[in-house]
């Protein structure tokens, strides 16, 4: 679920960059949120005992 949310945010950011939207700050904020969500997902996986 978390990875899906990060992927959606990343895709929205990419679409925004391709369409040259004027919301540059918001788009970069979405990218940062997507990267943080992916990193949280990677580091919060249960570890084998």
pLDDT in tens, 1-38: 777 888 887 787 777 766 665 566 676 777 788 888 88
Instruction: Report yes or no on 48 lying in a domain.
Output: no
Q: How far apart are CA 13 and CA 19, in angstroms?
A: 10
Instruction: Report yes or no on 49 lying in a domain.
Output: no
Q: Total structural domains in the chain?
A: 1
Question: What's the pLDDT score for residue 36?
Answer: 85
Question: What's the pLDDT score for residue 23?
Answer: 62
Question: What's the pLDDT score for residue 25?
Answer: 66
Instruction: Report yes or no on 25 lying in a domain.
Output: yes
Instruction: Report yes or no on 21 lying in a domain.
Output: yes
Q: What's the predicted TM-score (pTM) here?
A: 0.51
* pLDDT over threshold 80, residue 40: yes
Q: Name the helix (H) or strand (E) containing 4.
A: helix 2-18
Question: What's the pLDDT score for residue 6?
Answer: 80
Range of the domain at 9: 2-43
């Amino acid at each position: 679920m978390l990875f899906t949310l990060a992927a959606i945010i990343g895709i929205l950011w990419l679409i925004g960059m391709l369409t040259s939207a004027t919301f540059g700050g918001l788009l970069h904020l979405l990218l940062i949120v997507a990267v943080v969500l992916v990193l949280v997902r990677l580091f919060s996986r249960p570890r084998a005992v």
